[in-house]
Amino acid sequence: MLRIFAGIALPESLRERLAGLRAGLQDARWVEPQDYHVTLKFIGEVDEGTAEDLDAALAAVRGTPPAIAIEGVGWFESRNRVRAVWAGVAPDDPLSALRDRIEMAVAQAGGPAETRKFKPHVTLARLKRAPLAAVRPYLQAHDGLRLTPFTPPSFQLFRSHLGKKGAHYEVIADYPLAPGRDGPNG
């Protein structure tokens, strides 16, 4: 079984800038800089045959390359406890359109439908049920984060390897985007 998702890998320059935020949170499990990405569609566990079908469907996705602008920091919580801290991605119509095309391609290939609202971000750290009050100073310190936008030439299919120190991600396919190709599949 493969645990997979579609996303956009970050360029080295942005990974280096975000790596500078890897301090100031007690008991945080920091994401390794080489694993920074923007998830477009979490697919989950699939067998090799389904992964091949998904690869073929994703290879047909086209669209205008989005502008990825990392702005500010935020958090996800569960039961009033912070479980992850992230760098935000500014709203972008081509990014939302690409995400929708990927969602349709995955559904046509028999993959799962998304139930959560799309909130583009780059996960920086995972926490074990930290109270918001303990995380607030970090959030306030980095709220003004603004990185130079980049335009990715492609999106990727990642494989997630789970381990004791957290997940590690491997790019298993790369799908080029084409400017101005916003027809039925892009």
| Span 67-109, pLDDT tens digits | 999 999 999 999 889 999 999 999 999 999 999 999 999 999 9
Q: Is 115 helix (H, G, I), strand (E, B) or coil?
A: coil
Average pLDDT of the chain, as a whole number: 93
Active site (catalytic) residues: 37, 121
For the entire predicted model, the pTM comes to: 0.93
Do 165 and 29 contact (CB within 8 A), yes or no? yes
Q: Give me the sheet containing 2-9, strands edge to edge.
A: 37-46, 2-9, 154-163, 166-176
Boundaries of every domain in the chain: 2-176
Q: Which CATH class is domain 2-176?
A: alpha beta
Instruction: State the virtual CA torsion across 119, 122, 127, 130 in degrees, nearest 10.
Output: -50
